Amino acid sequence: MTALQAGNAAASPAQRSVPAAPNPRIAIGLGEWRVTSDVTEELICYGLGSCVGLCVYDPVVHLAGMAHMVLPDSAQAPKTRGGPKFVDVAVPTLLDRMMELGASRGRMRITLVGGAHILRGAGFADTPPIGERNVEAAIAALTSRGLRAQSMEIGGSRGRTVVLSARTGELSVTTAGVGT
């Protein structure tokens, strides 16, 4: 412990520790994905309700990837409206890019977050369970590639925010309306 850390105001400049700058948080918006090898970055998906966040980390090459998936199946979308907002497009897109950059299937730590059923109650009884369908589609897309999520924080009726550290692979999930 340095003198400054111990509260000694007489510490010399060489003994003073400079607080590290916070890691830049890169927001992954609806239908977006990102892979990074910059260990100073943290990837974050805000407000995952029925959407599902796919978080992937390879601890050997320090490669982190995240996708913010909105809907389960691109087959129902017009051709010009497809893309990674769909689970069946985002999962292979993210995994392929990670492997192109050196990630190994055997080392990938995969987590799914979100898939809540937000709209409940009167007037929403006939609302399709998009969150549940998104989770099922993500599990199926991973299974079709011989992979599985090692961790899932899914379902329920509250939104979540997830942060993935590119340095350590550590995940932090915050649930809306739950104390800190």
Residues serving a catalytic function are: 51
**Separation of first and last alpha carbons in the chain:** 29
CA–CA dist 69, 129 (Å, integer): 15
For residue 38, the SS3 value is coil
CB-based contact 165:42 (threshold 8 Å):
yes
CA–CA dist 99, 23 (Å, integer): 25
Task: Give the other-Cβ count within 10 Å of 21's Cβ.
Answer: 7
